[in-house]
Structure 1
């Protein structure tokens, strides 16, 4: 959860970094979550001339304005007529482009992360065929169309719902495919951190897929299609499910909150900033890695458990001292509003810093870490309760950067040495993946690596 300054603006672009476990997740306003890429744009199904996900049903338009008490009456009174697809379902992200989808889009309401290992005997040829199948499926599903083969109809009545599907390669992939010479130096394994309690079975992997959508069935449909496409070429290594607040759920656009109740992601780098691409994406000129990684990025994935019982036993004042920001509105303890620059030198009458020296927001500020920047785009998770009744809940932390050795690693090392938040979180799984640039029309993701 790193705040690279714990919580301040909103979106996959901010300048200080929201507060959350390990490198601070992405803070995006709800308006950015709902404002995806392209409205409508639905595909056709099997010659019928009608999108597979044409209608939401009578609850689509009317359900949004019904209160909880009036919902049943509203459904009973609603006429059996076709209603327009709600904007939530009709919004579409594009598969083809300079970068892969699922990186700069706003936070999505539902997410699945899944890693695969190539099956014994599978190599470069099988990997290429798999990425070709996956890319075809991703393009169709993101357009609101059915999968090409064996579609389950799980999302038949939904629109694209901002579905994004993103593919990446782990360190071991290059050994399995005989492409070691093409492995980027930036994909070297992450160093050990003293706070890590990693489960190797839920870490790393040959291949990684990130799925996000604003509808849970659309996201699950994509997960199932990707898993079926793997066939005999790859086997699931681990899989995790996450969620965020749904677009439109608050009365005004605001930075998202994590399961600790903190505004999270205030100072994420913003796409509008002049150095955004330089900090997040690999340059296309080949100066920072192999040519096949042009316009790509590196994803650090961490499953960070929040020790919520311990955290919730703290007073709000104590929680704010740990983070360095007010819980109510994300403003720095030094004063102002959420977007006010934190005054690290401000002291109280006793001469103590207003923002404690070990506060998460202070430690993770980019200007306190040589300008290290990461685009944080996480999901919260809840996987039930342990035998002792404690919740297995926290953050599926995902951060994007042009070079993790200059982005994630130095910040995490600093957090490792004295972050006040560290006693309330536990890093339980980890992965680092090279995510190539977007596929041009007629290409599949990773083609320049696998056929280069």
Structure 2
């Protein structure tokens, strides 16, 4: 078993004490099935330690900085050493502290500071950092080939995919969510700094305006097409459903992943200008919901159960056979569900006066082969929304369980 050196253990321990104190002050325990307290959620820290990683069922924050790294070191020991340093820094930053022991202003003035400093004076802002390991990490470099879970099978090519390899995949991902974009960017910047020479950034994505609710305490947000998104999303209060659909069980075949979850990302560009010229009635038929309330067509309230058997004039379905809500509904996929926590993005324009904008889709699940893959296969084949969207990047990662205490580190269950 790899030992954590004294300096890093000190960093972890200090952050661990902070985490316990902050958790007590906020009276907020984001474990399975527990709703957040009514404290100032936009400033308060989220506990770093627990059975599951924070940033999955944590009530979705408003801002995202997602990054995918390629591992450039060839040494297993160096990779583990970096993961330990990352863990110490993450434990501190999620509690509103500097990334390193000496911070942005301490230490030797002749040496680079331990923290880049742009988050000085800012609160924790609900920062969560969630790590995942991509299929490419399980090659011959680090002796992990035999530890690749069967559920981490490469995603198939779906009809209509226009994936760009340079913004897809990666060995390791880190998802930073916070209520302040500067806090999220600061966290990723400092992890990249710590990892210099061992990892390099493959691609990254900024996101704003969460497009899903992960708690019943949150209102359903809207995507850039103006529709409420993720009405039927899994919620942190759904304890039994989370055990069945979200968390990997010891019986699933990869012991090191027990308590973890599998992450799928898809960058979905929207043809915004074309969509904006579509009639309201067409937009609502495509989604199968009305645009104002978000109710399924034929219903009255957002959370009304869709009636897929309902017929309108001439016997045509009220909710069309190719409507998004019908094709994505759990009843169409044997009850399979996803926990979505995606974000809107706008990456400027494409040089032709068109917005480069859309949805950065993020979904967690127990087994992508049984959840995301069949759902996306049907959507890619039949969804009428496909006329207005294009999938341009894709990622798949195994997110291990949470950290037990200050002596633990990201990836310990994989590498030991």
TM-score (structure 1 length as normaliser): 0.78
Q: Counterpart of 1:277?
A: 243
- For 2:306 and 2:330, the matched residues in 1 are separated by 12
Contact 2:169 2:395 in 1 (8 A): yes
Query: What is the 5 A alignment of 1:46-61?
Result: none
- For 1:407 and 1:181, the matched residues in 2 are separated by 24
Query: What is the 5 A alignment of 1:303-318?
Result: 303-318=267-282
Contact 1:326 1:333 in 2 (8 A): yes
Q: Counterpart of 1:333?
A: 297
Task: Provide, for residues 227-251 of structure 1, a one-character-per-residue CA deviation record: whole Å limited to 9, x for no partner.
Answer: 101121111111111011699xxxx
Q: Counterpart of 2:315?
A: 351
What is the alpha-carbon root mean square deviation over aligned residues? 1.9
Specify which of 46, 53, 65 is matched with residue 112 of structure 1. Answer: 65
The structure 1 segments of at least 4 consecutive aligned residues displaced by more than 6 Å after TM superposition are none
Matched, 1:383 2:344: no
Specify which of 288, 301, 306 is matched with residue 265 of structure 2. Answer: 301
Task: Provide, for residues 78-111 of structure 1, a one-character-per-residue CA deviation record: whole Å limited to 9, x for no partner.
Answer: xxxxxxxx92543111111101111001221111
Cα distance, 1:374–1:89 mapped onto 2, change above 3 Å:
closer
Cα distance, 1:245–1:436 mapped onto 2, change above 3 Å:
closer
Matched, 1:141 2:105: no
Q: Helix, strand or coil: the match of 2:348? A: strand
Task: Provide, for residues 286-327 of structure 1, a one-character-per-residue CA deviation record: whole Å limited to 9, x for no partner.
Answer: 210221101000000111101111111111111000000000
Q: Counterpart of 1:396?
A: 360
Q: Helix, strand or coil: the match of 2:224? A: coil
| RCO higher in structure (CA 8 A, sep ≥6) | 1
Q: Helix, strand or coil: the match of 1:433? A: strand
Deviation of 1:40 (Å): 5.0
Number of corresponding residues: 365
Specify which of 118, 126, 129 is matched with residue 165 of structure 1. Answer: 129
Specify which of 145, 151, 176 is matched with residue 180 of structure 1. Answer: 145
Q: Counterpart of 1:56?
A: none
Specify which of 45, 49, 57 is matched with residue 92 of structure 1. Answer: 45
Q: Counterpart of 1:267?
A: 232
Cα distance, 1:95–1:256 mapped onto 2, change above 3 Å:
same
TM-score (structure 2 length as normaliser): 0.85
Specify which of 322, 327, 348 is matched with residue 286 of structure 2. Answer: 322
Q: Helix, strand or coil: the match of 1:211? A: strand
Contact 1:40 1:92 in 2 (8 A): no
* Long gaps (5+) in structure 1: 1-36, 42-85
